[in-house]
Amino acid sequence: KVGLVCVIMSLSSYLCTSVYVHSFDTVRNDFWIQDPTSILTSPQKHTLNVLIDRNSALKRNVYPCGNINMPYQIGVAIVDKMELSSNISNTSINIMNYATDVFNNIQLGHVECNNGVLLFVSFDDREIGIITGSGINPKVLSHDDIDSIIYHIGSFFKKQDKFTGLREGIIKLSNHLIY
């Protein structure tokens, strides 16, 4: 399945093309986990979705956005392997570019606030990326925080415990986003 993603990593870009094998849907309030290759079981996805809903609904997790306060949105996208479609050749895949394209494609975060956070994992590639919208203050979630979360998650993945790694990643991200 080929997903539609923007080549130029900008929300204002209209130049989009099908370059990736995996298809990611726009996130909804009750479905924060994108798992096109069915790595997790349905009960595991449900548990993570409930965790995200519960943590993002906390009143202290709101961010000023114009005249209103909006809660952040955490999404999780996981694949077995990052792959390009067969019509793209001689291109290496960079985790941050891939994850940013997925972030933009699934429309994570409130449009006016750009306050989404994506935890992206490619298990076979052994790559983890965390992408934040520009509405997430770097003082709340710094590069050091992101590195620490990735290291923590990776410790579970090394033990082949994907579910616990994802759950811990969501919890750590949620804790950093509370201020």
81, 121 contact by CB (below 8 A): no
What are the beta bridge partners of residue 4?
18
| Local confidence band at 14 (pLDDT 50, 70, 90 cut-offs) | very low
- Number of H helices and E strands in the chain, helices first, is 4, 8
Full DSSP string of 111-165: TTT--EEEEEEETTTTEEEEEE-TTS-TTTS-HHHHHHHHHHHHHHHHTT-HHHH
pLDDT, tens digit (0-9, with 9 covering 90-100), for 74-110 = 899 999 988 765 555 545 678 888 888 888 888 887 7
Burial-class residue 144 by CB neighbours within 10 Å (0-12, 13-18, 19+): exposed
69, 63 contact by CB (below 8 A): yes
149, 130 contact by CB (below 8 A): yes
At residue 154, the pLDDT reads 94
Mean pLDDT in the chain? 76
Compare 113 and 12 and report the one with higher pLDDT: 113
At residue 20, the pLDDT reads 42
pLDDT, tens digit (0-9, with 9 covering 90-100), for 138-156 = 777 888 999 999 999 999 9
C-alpha pair distances (Å), 47 with each of 64, 75, 85: 29, 13, 32
* 76/9 Cα distance (integer angstroms): 19
Residue 46 three-state SS: helix
% of the chain exceeding 90 in pLDDT: 31
Q: What's the rounded mean pLDDT across residues 122-147?
A: 87
pLDDT, tens digit (0-9, with 9 covering 90-100), for 152-163 = 999 999 999 999
